Structure 1
């Protein structure tokens, strides 16, 4: 799925935007999951770039994914595409569930620091004599 999503994002012309952003959320227009991911990241003081894709893009992704599953002989399950897609430091993390899982195990903050999206805050006190 990640390869399919990356090809679609390249076709959409988002690669320069992803490369120029420390944290980016690509999601469906008006989807509450975008908001949840955005609030989680903003709560950690990482302010993501938001990009909303059209319903046509979503439909194309869904069709491509389900067609691939059908051609492999998996007729039991059809899926919607992975949205929102979250990128940290130009790397595709995955959807909201993956973002939350990374945060729960304690790897999200180090990833955000490595990407330069958040900084370690050091408070210095200067005492004068």
Structure 2
């Protein structure tokens, strides 16, 4: 869907959530915040086209529910499990630096 593609490229890190109070969404947003990354968060339950975007993300990720869905540098990286795996493997920070989300 064009809207997801457009929104996912508006900043170095973009996170789509169903509700910021969701534990998985909270975990992901807290991780990025702790790394000093100012991610843009789109709460799909508050967007009139949120259901359409959620279906598009489910197709892209191949899972339901598809949120949180994290884009870095405009590229879909994945959900909580993928982000945590990248972080624990030491690959998330270099990815963030390459996308211009971190400078240290």
Whether these two folds match at TM > 0.5 is: yes
* 1:35 Cα deviation after fit: 1.3
Partner Cα separation in structure 2 for residue 57 and residue 110 of structure 1? 33
Which of structures 1 and 2 has the bigger CA Rg? 1
1:38 aligns with 2:29: yes
1:54 paired residue among 34, 42, 45 = 45
Contact 1:28 1:83 in 2 (8 A): yes
* Structure 2 length-normalised TM: 0.79
Q: Displacement of 1:33 after TM fit?
A: 1.4
Q: Tell me what 2:10 maps to.
A: 20
- How many residues are matched? 96
**Normalising by structure 1, what TM-score?**
0.65
Give structure 2 stretches of 5+ with no counterpart: none
What residue ranges of structure 1 are gaps of 5+ in the alignment?
1-6, 66-78, 121-129
Query: More relative contact order in 1 or in 2 (CA 8 Å, sep 6+)?
Result: 2
User: 2:89 — aligned with what?
Assistant: 105
